[in-house]
Structure 1
């Protein structure tokens, strides 16, 4: 991924220079401006990247946000910078005020190393308290970089960013709550689980005991699940390398799935879903995995194929049906992001069924 390579190179630059950087202004020049350039925006074009953008707040005049980025003459992003020695989640009240008086849908608070992206998912034109996306140059994650790709000048897509922002916001929230429950199960969680098999009243003493049982059960379940997955991966890898089968005493009577739905296939499904949400309700879009392809259907109907993904080989392909359900047309994909290039074909397929 080209974007990831550029970010890794920027991280090397940051690590090599940061001890010599003493001020916020130097942080902006040495770290933040190169980051903006990596996204494809011309930092030397004042109609595209506006430094010290005036964001007057009520009677308070002369307030300035460090950068405002425009695309097609529309403000899309404001960036407030701090010294690299400061925390990137500090002083977000200042960014909050700037966000309110600009038309940009996204705000970034950064120290040149960590970039926290905010939106207004909870209330229109009021910046959320927590970021939906964090880019840490010292700990780059592929999933986050894919979202960041939508912020680049060449691929900026407001709808896709908002879809991703909402998903990431709630996934993060659910994970946080789940991790809390693992560490210290709540009364509600204990009752939810225990009431399914324990018919007696949950007294205070029993609740204390069952809380401990629940904590241990969740911990054991997660540990064994991880261990099982690792063992399976090792077995598959060993058998592929040696060409052997059933060398570890696996019961041959156990039915082994003929196919596994991969994260890549599910990601492709989400991209198609995001594209089609523009014209139909998302609940009408379903998928079915098969041994030979991963199919996406309208109304979960085999007679209404929207597209199919063929990811079983090194060459990834998408099969379209915009010219009729019996005339599939395959196109090779170099990356999943290229699916967005075929919006018209996917829309036409839906129009043919309606």
Structure 2
């Protein structure tokens, strides 16, 4: 089958060997696996990080966001059958979705929204799981809760921010504040549900105070946390909550002590990496999000479709992510 792989970490993305086309054997499903024929994929920052930092022992297939059709199922599968349209964010410990076929455990896949194309659907699984777990598992904000409280989302215009704003504005009563620096991204996050927009290239606290939020209850940082950390501590209320998804080189938790601020990390691959007993919650979550999309409550965060799934287009997608020039999600579809 066709696949796009890398075999040497850290190559510049303009090097043709940084990601290249290959022919590899089609995988065979294990007992709980779905064999999925890929229709569309999305590209995420984790793909870029792994290509830079992790040297594989053999050519590795990256990419975990995907949408497609179940071709075959393992002997113990009960949630799906061949022919089902599915979407998933995959398991970082297994080969990814930059291929014609991939395997995914049924407990972390969902039935794709009927109202979306495969490209529109592929934009959502990884970011939806991340955003959902941030809000409802890590910060434990109840659905329809948060009345009178405020949430600041730093870096709100990217993939996770684009669905997080929708979830927070539609499923909670939080006042939702997003940060973005470019006019087009500011308009994007306002349309997605941010009730207030501030420019993260300027000091945050004066802008927040002017908007009526001298301090905020919750902060979710999606990018460049190390650059904003001092400001985050200053603008959080005593006993506030701080969550992040990126990887600062260091994060000194001591400044949080004086205000009793709680710290929460989110990594959506945790459940599948450790085969957590509640692994099936990601299936349930994707089923719920699909229902919200088909009901018109949420919409796809597809930013740009870069064309067919091949090495040249994937190198282009990686370059856009590295340059922080993406709005919403970058998607590729078809071979």
Same fold (TM over 0.5): no
* Bigger relative contact order (CA 8 A; separation at least 6): 2
More helix per residue:
1
Question: Which structure has the highest strand share of the two?
Answer: 2
Q: Return the TM-score normalized by structure 2.
A: 0.24
